[in-house]
Amino acid sequence: MIDLRSDTVTLPKQEMLEAILHAQLGDDIMGEDPTVNQLEKEFAKLLGMEAALLVTSGTMANQVAIMSFCNRGEEIIMGEDSHIFTLEGAATSTVAQVQIRPIPVNGGSYDLAKIENAINVGDIQRPRTSLICLENTYNLNKGEIIPLENLKEIRKLANEYHLPIYMDGARLFNASVELNVDPIIICQEVDAVQICLTKGLGCPIGSILAGSKAFIDKAILNRQRLGGGMRQAGIIAAPALYALEHMVNRLKEDNDRAKVLAQRLAKLDGLSIDLADVQTNIVSPKLEKDHWNSQKLIDYLLKKGIKVKNIGKKQVRMIVHYLITDEDIDEVVASFASFTKAHA
């Protein structure tokens, strides 16, 4: 099977499983798991943040961050296609009890005027804005990069209003390797960031939240409130230490393969892809023929041993990851081509 539904389908490498077997463990709620402590220290350093915290998932990282930045009844500005808004079971409203103010985002760039318009200083009717939340890469069906210039402008605006910025950087390293900049350069413009260990990095479990020491102290309490305090969590941290060393820089390969895939698919009759959207490892072609639909294509590809994700009646998504080779890309393109011919 060539499974392109998500980079979360990546299985841990043998070396990761071996790292688990040899990890030194302790009670992490007591702060005594040496492997977790090492991971948090290394991540903080890599991101240029004072401290970091291992949590169970990207969703937990996001909600812990929101609970740590915001009070109940306040408002967060974020892009309308953000994972926090669309795919977290309304945790922001039900658990953190904070309201989301969604704004459109154009190709990974946030419109400063739209952000500024959405800011409420708070009065008897309007909830006070207490956080700006960015996603980088933005839109899990596109994977767009927030341009560095845009990020700096948002920082300036946020400073004017004394607002903190949180970055959901589930796939931040796909952006940093593509821009060829140190992740510190991106993270220095935000107050806190989360990175998923389970996407392109290939770990089985976990996310890392990073920020100031004071923020992480609050985050530890909020993680505990959500039941996310863990004991011998070194079994989660050990694969992540392997990933830090071996899986970060290779993400450029995934981005490059995604671009090749997109360019080749865009040439096929009946498929359309906005190549400007394909900035990292995500390719989402649209079906342009009236008698085609996503399910028909998905069923066809499945028979050829290829899995893609249905993201709309006339659109499917593919995310390239470390298990996908150049030969796989050839095979996927050939199968799409035979679909377009068979159903012309």
Where on the chain is the footprint of ligand PLP (CB under 6 A)? 57-59, 62, 83, 135, 140, 168, 170, 196, 198, 207
Closest distance to ligand PLP from the beta carbon of 62 (Å) = 6
Closest distance to ligand PLP from the beta carbon of 44 (Å) = 20
Q: Which of 321, 261, 259 lies closest to 3 in space, CA to CA?
A: 321
Q: Which is nearer to ligand PLP, 207 or 279 (CB)?
A: 207
Query: Which residue's beta carbon is nearest to the bound ligand PLP?
Result: 58
Neighbouring-strand partners of residue 54: 208
| 280, 282, 287, 293 alpha-carbon torsion, rounded to 10° | -170
Q: Which is nearer to ligand PLP, 58 or 285 (CB)?
A: 58
Closest distance to ligand PLP from the beta carbon of 311 (Å) = 13
Distance CA 344, CA 269 (A): 9
Closest distance to ligand PLP from the beta carbon of 160 (Å) = 27
Distance CA 315, CA 52 (A): 37
Q: Which is nearer to ligand PLP, 10 or 62 (CB)?
A: 62
342, 289 contact by CB (below 8 A): no
133, 78 contact by CB (below 8 A): yes
Q: Which is nearer to ligand PLP, 83 or 317 (CB)?
A: 83
243 vs 177, 211, 309, CA distance in Å?
Answer: 15, 21, 26
Q: Which is nearer to ligand PLP, 64 or 196 (CB)?
A: 196
255, 281 contact by CB (below 8 A): yes
Closest distance to ligand PLP from the beta carbon of 317 (Å) = 12
Q: Which of 219, 202, 201, 221 lies closest to 211 in space, CA to CA?
A: 219
Cis peptide before 92 (omega within 30 of 0): no
Q: Which is nearer to ligand PLP, 132 or 140 (CB)?
A: 140
Closest distance to ligand PLP from the beta carbon of 27 (Å) = 24
